[in-house]
């Protein structure tokens, strides 16, 4: 049986690196994001290496579109062996906790939590029936430990983490692995890194952050999946001890 993974949020950085890493191990890859052109470029790159890659454009902010999205995926690959979920809102809008209101969270709930839950509902049953599968994610380390002036989206990421932790415990005995990577570093090749370097060059105050290669992060999540010896990893090591 051909293995397959859908990468929900195939943006620059970890999403594209995950697609390349799983393709390297023989997975068919479904690339899912809003913008078609970057997906097509990556699909051509993978296809040149003999990988079966499918492009599906979708707005992951629209949770009610998940059933139709799942059918489009099944039409190309059948039920997935693995899914990776790592999209981010178009506007992160970090705010101080003292300024946080329910309204500031409402528009980030679908892409962060509701769509993920709906996708799990679509693809988990087949994984359980088969006795093998994986649900993977990579998000910011603020989901693990709150930071001053960085409330807002991380508040919902913490809820996502709680959901995935519970899911991991419930399906571990059924052959399904749930793996979570939390990143407290600037990721090379991303818009965040470009903005960080611009601000640094202009002498603006920036927080000191370690740099991470997305390929290394993808390797780490792959190793977690292959080894199934832990459900969570925080990068860089020791970040939460500071």
pLDDT in tens, 147-184: 777 777 889 999 999 999 999 999 999 999 999 999 98
Domain that holds residue 50: 4-237
Q: Report how far residue 166's alpha carbon sits from residue 75's, in angstroms, rounded to the nearest whole number.
A: 30
The torsion angles phi and psi of 33, rounded to 5 degrees, stand at -170, 180
64 is a domain residue: yes
The pLDDT tens digits of the residues spanning 45-67 come to: 999 999 999 999 999 999 999 99
Check residue 239 and give its pLDDT. 62
Q: Report how far residue 138's alpha carbon sits from residue 190's, in angstroms, rounded to the nearest whole number.
A: 14
Structural domains in the chain (count): 1
91 is a domain residue: yes
pLDDT tier for residue 130 given thresholds of 50, 70 and 90: very high
Burial of 227 (0-12, 13-18, 19+ CB in 10 A): exposed
242 is a domain residue: no
135 is a domain residue: yes
Q: Report how far residue 224's alpha carbon sits from residue 218's, in angstroms, rounded to the nearest whole number.
A: 10
Q: Which two tokens stand for residue 118?
A: 């709906």
Say which CATH number the domain at 232 has.
3.40.50.720
190 is a domain residue: yes
12 is a domain residue: yes
pLDDT tier for residue 104 given thresholds of 50, 70 and 90: confident
* pTM to 2 decimal places: 0.92
> CA separation (Å) from 22 to 5, 63, 198, 222?
8, 26, 32, 8
137 is a domain residue: yes
């Amino acid at each position: 049986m051909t293995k397959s993974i859908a990468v929900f949020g195939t943006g620059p950085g970890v999403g594209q690196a995950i697609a390349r890493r799983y393709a390297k191990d023989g997975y068919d890859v479904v690339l899912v994001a809003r913008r078609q052109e970057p997906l097509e470029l990556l699909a051509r790159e993978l296809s040149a290496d003999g990988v079966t890659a499918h492009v599906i454009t979708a707005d992951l902010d629209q949770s009610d579109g998940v059933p139709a999205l799942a059918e489009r995926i099944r039409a190309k690959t059948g039920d997935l062996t693995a899914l990776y979920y790592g999209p981010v809102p178009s506007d992160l809008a970090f705010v101080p906790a003292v300024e946080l209101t329910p309204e500031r969270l409402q528009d980030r709930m679908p892409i962060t939590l509701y769509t993920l839950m709906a996708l799990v509902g679509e693809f988990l049953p087949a994984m359980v029936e088969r006795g093998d599968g994986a649900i993977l994610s990579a998000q910011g380390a603020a989901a693990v430990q709150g930071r001053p002036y960085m409330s807002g989206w991380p508040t919902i990421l913490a809820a996502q983490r709680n959901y995935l932790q519970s899911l991991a415990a419930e399906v571990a005995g059924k052959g399904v692995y749930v793996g979570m990577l939390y990143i407290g570093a600037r990721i090379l090749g991303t818009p965040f890194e470009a903005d960080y370097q611009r601000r640094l060059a202009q002498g603006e105050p920036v927080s000191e952050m370690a740099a991470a290669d997305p390929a290394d992060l993808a390797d780490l999540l792959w190793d977690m999946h292959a080894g199934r010896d832990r459900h969570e990893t925080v990068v860089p090591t020791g970040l939460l001890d500071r």
